[in-house]
Chains A and B, each alone.
Chain A
């Protein structure tokens, strides 16, 4: 959808902002450009809608050479969201969202209808339509910025630190909403941030830039974390790379161990055998429908016949299929059993996740 072929930008005065970058963003993908200050990530973004003209190289947008179109036509087909939103203070929210439709000559009723639709899509109450930007909160203004960029339903969106100016709580919510929205609209998105965690959360692919406009590595978050191309990338990814990788893998993607599991009616001796075979001093107890009931420690099983006769301990923290391995690790380290139990949608026992399983995943 977007291809940069050996693109460079040297500013008058000789500063190289972008140095021979090759980059391809597939349709419907989110590519995040990330790197330290002065690494050329914003310039690279602005090359795509020709807010900056390249010194050399070729940029292909939606199958056409970007330089072949008049800039205003190219830009009207590309949504653009910037950090401080750049909302028009003299226009209402509806007027702001209607900017590009107006430029390309939509009728007033059509613009009004589209604005209402987009406000709902980005989670803005309808009554804000006639308000002005300065009457809105920072988070609401960002949403207006996104809605405005989506107005004529462009296939491509360029977003320059769109959540950089709001506080961390609002940012986390906007990120979540962004991902939900992207599921729905499936745009091809190029997203600039200086926050590697935001990049890992948002990106299908991440481009890590170094000072001087050099693209060091372009890969999926998993590949990047698993195999950083060089010391700069590894350093930029930061500490706790293992934890970051675990955060990207769902528990459903690994095979859970069967674990020492028994029914409440199981005789104690049999339960002890099950525990011994698994090498644990506890068993997981489930009911007839295999729903999780709790944990019984072998030490507590003296003087009773059946496992269900003792007071069961609370079950170890359980995780679901959609949780990440990082969540599972958290469950492990906060449970005396040292494992996380994976349960199905109905709360049925599916198996246990152990630290061995996590280690295997990472190595």
Chain B
């Protein structure tokens, strides 16, 4: 209980809210590391995921490579980067970006792959070229899953950006690293709480963005599917209708 009181006291201390090591400054640092890493991960993983989903070729390879990245602990990647290129922004950036790639890649791939074959057949049959099909049909329909991937990635990166302090950067990780060094557990706990709150806020912000981006028809469809699942008492994801074997 003493720790709780200490943490509250830590947050109430005016000195902790100003200056270059105050909460506002640390928030900006933490956000900065996270945003550039997620943007870079998106820039790399999204086109690859969408394209692989669109062509249907190399999907297994891409997803497995991405998942391999997931299997390596983030601290491991970070250490590897430090050994390779030393301390500073770049090893942290690369490690965070690598950590942000798998959910985006996997979801973009799955989202496009799951577009109904009949929809794709109709689109091609009406004379859509590959790019038109992707842009006008596959991406809009895949958007809920694509956005879910980016949200997952962002939350993970925000949580993991704490490690940046280990390689000489700051952010909320600084509170944790410094706190541990002097056994100031209130400061450690405060750092952890700040990371959690920021992760939740990022998630909420991206959810709002998703609502704005996803086409009305798709959102309504997803909602209806969810209601149907509840009505059936399942709560299970309704299975996509199996593409019927083509006759003739």
Residues of A within 8 A of B (CB): 33, 35, 37-45, 49, 51, 71-76, 80, 82-92, 99-100, 103, 132-135, 145, 148-149, 158, 161, 192, 194, 209
Residue of A nearest to B132 (CB): A103
Residues of B within 8 A of A (CB): 116, 118-129, 132, 137, 140-141, 215-218, 220-221, 224, 244, 246-248
Contact A89 B248 (CB under 8 A): no
Distance, CA A91 to CA B224, complexed state (A): 16
Instruction: Pick the residue among B217, B244, B246 that contacts A91 (CB under 8 A).
Output: B217
Residues of B within 8 A of A89 (CB): 116, 119, 141, 217-218, 221
Residue of B nearest to A49 (CB): B125
Contact B247 A134 (CB under 8 A): no
Residues of A within 8 A of B246 (CB): 42
Chain B min CB distance to A52 (Å): 11
Chain A min CB distance to B120 (Å): 8
Chain A min CB distance to B225 (Å): 9
Instruction: Pick the residue among B128, B137, B217, B218 that contacts A72 (CB under 8 A).
Output: B128
Contact B125 A72 (CB under 8 A): no
Contact B247 A42 (CB under 8 A): yes
Instruction: Pick the residue among B126, B128, B248 that contacts A41 (CB under 8 A).
Output: B248
Contact B221 A132 (CB under 8 A): yes
Distance, CA A43 to CA B128, complexed state (A): 20
Residues of A within 8 A of B120 (CB): 86
Distance, CA A208 to CA B119, complexed state (A): 29
- Chosen A-B contacts, 25 in total, with CB atoms closer than 8 Å, are A33-B248, A40-B248, A44-B248, A72-B128, A80-B122, A83-B118, A86-B120, A86-B121, A87-B122, A88-B122, A89-B116, A89-B221, A90-B140, A90-B141, A90-B217, A90-B218, A91-B215, A99-B126, A100-B126, A103-B126, A103-B132, A132-B217, A132-B221, A135-B220, A161-B247
Distance, CA A95 to CA B131, complexed state (A): 19
Additional 8 contacts, C-beta under 8 A, given A83-B118, A89-B116, A91-B217: A42-B248, A74-B127, A84-B116, A88-B122, A90-B141, A91-B215, A99-B126, A149-B126
Contact A72 B129 (CB under 8 A): yes
Residue of A nearest to B246 (CB): A42
Distance, CA A135 to CA B218, complexed state (A): 12
Distance, CA A161 to CA B34, complexed state (A): 52
Contact A88 B128 (CB under 8 A): no
Residues of A within 8 A of B220 (CB): 132, 134-135
Distance, CA A103 to CA B121, complexed state (A): 16
Residues of B within 8 A of A76 (CB): 126-127
Contact A82 B218 (CB under 8 A): no
Chain A min CB distance to B212 (Å): 15
Select the residue from B116, B126, B141, B224 with max chain A CB neighbours within 10 A: B126
Chain B min CB distance to A7 (Å): 14
Contact B126 A75 (CB under 8 A): yes
Contact A73 B127 (CB under 8 A): yes
Distance, CA A45 to CA B116, complexed state (A): 21
Contact A39 B248 (CB under 8 A): yes
Residue of B nearest to A194 (CB): B247
Instruction: Pick the residue among B116, B119, B125, B216 that contacts A51 (CB under 8 A).
Output: B125
Distance, CA A33 to CA B140, complexed state (A): 35
Chain A min CB distance to B121 (Å): 6
Residues of A within 8 A of B216 (CB): 90, 132
Residues of B within 8 A of A99 (CB): 123, 126
Residues of B within 8 A of A33 (CB): 248
Chain A min CB distance to B180 (Å): 50
Given the known interface contacts A39-B248, A45-B248, A132-B216, the answer about A86 and B221 at a Cβ–Cβ threshold of 8 Å is no
Residue of B nearest to A75 (CB): B127
Distance, CA A72 to CA B124, complexed state (A): 8
Chain A min CB distance to B97 (Å): 31
Contact A72 B118 (CB under 8 A): no
Residues of A within 8 A of B140 (CB): 90
Contact A35 B248 (CB under 8 A): yes
Chain B min CB distance to A314 (Å): 48
Distance, CA A161 to CA B247, complexed state (A): 10
Residues of B within 8 A of A39 (CB): 248
Contact A80 B218 (CB under 8 A): no
Distance, CA A3 to CA B116, complexed state (A): 32
Residue of B nearest to A151 (CB): B126
Chain A min CB distance to B56 (Å): 16
Residues of A within 8 A of B125 (CB): 49, 51, 75, 80, 82, 86, 158
Instruction: Pick the residue among B123, B124, B224 that contacts A88 (CB under 8 A).
Output: B123
Chain B min CB distance to A201 (Å): 19
Distance, CA A214 to CA B37, complexed state (A): 59
Given the known interface contacts A89-B218, A89-B221, A132-B216, the answer about A82 and B248 at a Cβ–Cβ threshold of 8 Å is no
Residue of B nearest to A95 (CB): B217
Chain A min CB distance to B35 (Å): 29
Given the known interface contacts A91-B217, A134-B221, A134-B224, the answer about A86 and B127 at a Cβ–Cβ threshold of 8 Å is no
Residues of A within 8 A of B118 (CB): 82-86
Residues of A within 8 A of B124 (CB): 51, 75
Residues of A within 8 A of B248 (CB): 33, 35, 37-45, 192, 209
Distance, CA A363 to CA B124, complexed state (A): 48
Contact B127 A103 (CB under 8 A): yes
Distance, CA A182 to CA B122, complexed state (A): 22
Contact A80 B221 (CB under 8 A): no
Residue of B nearest to A51 (CB): B125
Chain B min CB distance to A23 (Å): 14
Residue of A nearest to B218 (CB): A90
Distance, CA A159 to CA B247, complexed state (A): 13
